[in-house]
Structure 1
Amino acid sequence: MLGNGRVADTQSFECLRGKYSGAVFIVASGPSVNEFPLQRYAQYPMMAMNGSICRFADAGVKPLFYICDDSSFVRNRLPLLQQGLALAQNLAFSPRVITALLAQAPNALNGRSLYGFERANRPVDGRAPMGDRQFAWAARKDADFECEFSLFRQKPNRIGFSRNIGKGYFSSRTIPYTGIQLACHLGFQQVFVVGMDLDSSKGRFYEQGEDAVPSRLDGDYADYILPCFELMAKRVVSPAFQVYNLSLGSRLPSSVVPKLHMDQLDDLLAAR
């Protein structure tokens, strides 16, 4: 992958498929993160994403993965991304992020455990992507994908879930959903999502006042976010793969992703 004339060596996610098991915590950026005692659960694998890495830095916890697929985050929040570079055991970056990062800090990825990943139907080998409808039709025959399909409307063809990150992921327009797909790929059976409030009015826990970057959550919720989570709940979640939301005030209904109190979380972890 190229950035400012330089090459970043990336590893393949294929070698990590099914490598892990048990529980994993995915820490997003909603303000409910401030209510979660990160250090109390530090013995479990965790994933940080975008600005949530500052919570890990404050707690002195090293996440298993730091995820970023938004090049604008690199431009707007480079110091936060650099915290992820310094703290995380592994990095999962999209080509856009790698290019934007190397343009600003050419040596930033030297010696790092870097995994490149891309959205579904965005080939990294130079091939042109299929049309959305064509890809969605093909994905219906691939056991690694769950995907909606419509001949008449474009948006349903972008609703899906990937069990194999090596083949790409569905963005859902919110990064916790990407983290859940990565957790599935890695083999985790229980996924606990922290800070998935999904409410633009609440902002991000690490931003204040004029420093806040505008969010598109409200505009994307009905068209992409909710439909993707509903698809996941119907076609992916099973006794072997469970997803829970630790944000009790989350916009996402508990009928789609169950919400847990902390005592319920402890009971589930103790039962394993």
Structure 2
Amino acid sequence: MVFDSFENNFQSESGSVFILASGPSAANFPLQEFPSIPVMAMNGSILKCEADAVQPSFYLCDDPRFIESRFWLAEKGVRQAKSTAMTADCYDRLLSTAPACLKNKHLFLMSRVNRYNRRAIVSDKRFAWSIRNDPHLHSYFSVFHAKPNRVGFSTNMAKGYFGSRTIPIAALQLACHLGFNKVFLLGVDLNQSSGRFYEQGDEALPSTLDKDYEEYILPSFRFMAEKIVSRGEFEVFNLSNSSRLPSSVVPPMCLADLRACIQEPD
């Protein structure tokens, strides 16, 4: 595999972007109504792109367990998207099951900050202290508690990204890295009991949303809202009407307001 460098697309885009996750609220969204807005898909949300005949600008995955159990969805994502961003272990799993789909594709290697083989290189506290003056890596820092030091946001994917136990946070970091200034979240419902729009019942993959939400997921979104979001420069809106995210963290937006905001040309 040959990887492109994130340095080559840093701040290369502008305008709006959809981040498409797999919550049920994404199922009936009229994605085809907004052909000029790029879409970043992840995991099984590629099925929404396929159904709406939309080619994603990026397909993301950082969970090797998803590749192992749903490799045909990951293969579909890589084949359909203009570019792919995955972690090394995800590429390795896909290479062992569907190597042909990676041939002649535009690939980027996602690397978590301060991690090698998913283990910390230095303590999270020491790493959080070391980046306190970095213009691109932003994190909480706590002397007394370990978990806040794991929460952060990267505005330059060439330096890595912060994991948060949910792939939309990685996509938000990529969107900021690329230079988009308005991000619209689709299907970021984060309700474990509601499942995913593309699978039902006993065949659904296990989820850890309830376990991780309070400790990692919500703090990561809150950090972004407090430290990264800036009016006119980087704004994030939630198009889900059933999202677990508080409106104080990510403001909701209805379809009518989105249409007015985008003002798609005829």
Give the TM-score range, shorter chain.
over 0.9
Question: 2:241 aligned with 1:254, yes or no?
Answer: no
What whole-Å deviation, never above 9, does each CA across 1:1-30 have from its counterpart, x for those lacking one?
A: xxxxxxx21111110000000000010000
Whether contact under 8 Å (2:20, 2:39) holds in the other structure is yes
Structure 2 counterpart of 1:265: 258
Structure 2 counterpart of 1:198: 190
Question: 2:4 aligned with 1:30, yes or no?
Answer: no
What whole-Å deviation, never above 9, does each CA across 1:60-112 have from its counterpart, x for those lacking one?
A: 11000000111111111011111112210000010010111112223331100
Question: 2:78 aligned with 1:118, yes or no?
Answer: no
* TM-score in terms of structure 2 length: 0.95
What whole-Å deviation, never above 9, does each CA across 1:232-251 have from its counterpart, x for those lacking one?
A: 11110002110001002100
Structure 1 counterpart of 2:140: 148
Distance in 2 separating the partners of 1:171 and 1:204: 21
Deviation at 1:271, TM superposition (A): 9.6
1:50 to 21, 43, 53: 43
Deviation at 1:153, TM superposition (A): 1.3
Deviation at 1:198, TM superposition (A): 0.5
What whole-Å deviation, never above 9, does each CA across 1:42-67 have from its counterpart, x for those lacking one?
A: 22111000000011111111000000
Whether contact under 8 Å (1:159, 1:224) holds in the other structure is yes
Structure 2 counterpart of 1:70: 63
What whole-Å deviation, never above 9, does each CA across 1:190-230 have from its counterpart, x for those lacking one?
A: 00010000010000111111110111011101000111111
SS in 2 for 1:47: strand
Whether contact under 8 Å (2:40, 2:58) holds in the other structure is yes
SS in 2 for 1:26: strand
Q: Residue 242 and residue 128 in structure 1: after superposition, are their counterparts in 2 closer, same or farther (change >3 A)? A: closer
Structure 2 counterpart of 1:9: 2
* TM-score in terms of structure 1 length: 0.93
Runs of 4+ with deviation above 6 angstroms: none
Distance in 2 separating the partners of 1:135 and 1:200: 31
Distance in 1 separating the partners of 2:20 and 2:177: 17
Root-mean-square deviation over aligned CA pairs: 1.6
Which runs of no fewer than 5 residues in structure 1 stay unpaired?
Answer: 1-7
Give the length in aligned residue pairs: 263
Amino acid at match of 1:97: C
SS in 1 for 2:184: strand
Question: 2:125 aligned with 1:133, yes or no?
Answer: yes
Distance in 2 separating the partners of 1:53 and 1:105: 17
Question: 2:154 aligned with 1:168, yes or no?
Answer: no
